[in-house]
A = this chain, B = another copy of it.
Amino acid sequence: MELIVYCRSFEVALMAGPDVADVTDEIGRVVAASGVGEGSAQATVVGSTGSLTTIEYEPGAVEDFKRAIERLAPPGIEYMHELAWRDGNGHSHVQAALLGPSLVLPVRDGILRLGTWQQAVLVNHDIRGRRRTVEVTVLGQG
């Protein structure tokens, strides 16, 4: 049995938040390149206004998800971050912290094991478009 540790990052351009991108293929390509047959893919977004999770990536569910994110921390209320920094993204930081930056997915038979309607998604919560970096660590046996 060969044990493998394989680390790569990828970047995705997202629009002003909340914007949601399907990154299943990007993570899947890292898994394929790793040579891991059985193990896990651990993904973390770099930066404090991004998050990772899974959802059925169809326009309706994605829109519903965006609305729920805005309910968690609406742009229109007072933020103390704002009073100090006046960069307009107090809600972005809160949304990202609540959702969390990391996601762990199983690798089985050399590919990601997800549900048929389950996609890995990257969220940009910042108020401007951002090119976001996701670090992926694949651990397992070849």
Contacts and interface: CB of A to CB of B under 8 A. Distances in A.
Interface of A: 1, 3, 5, 7, 38-40, 42, 44, 46-48, 53-56, 58-61, 63-65, 68-69, 71-73, 79-85, 90-91, 93-94, 96-108, 113-115, 117-119, 121, 135-137, 139-141
- Which of A47, A58, A64, A135 has the most chain B CB atoms closer than 10 A to its own CB? A64
A99 B98 contact: yes
Contact of A44 (B7, B61, B98, B104): B104
Given A101-B53, A137-B40, A83 B60 contact: yes
Contacts of A58: 81, 84-85
For this chain, the copies found in one complex come to 3
16 contacts: A5-B139, A5-B140, A39-B137, A39-B139, A42-B106, A48-B56, A53-B98, A54-B96, A59-B84, A60-B81, A60-B82, A61-B90, A61-B93, A68-B72, A98-B98, A137-B140
Nearest to A132: B115
A118 B101 contact: yes
B46 A60 contact: no
Contacts of A72: 68, 71-72, 98
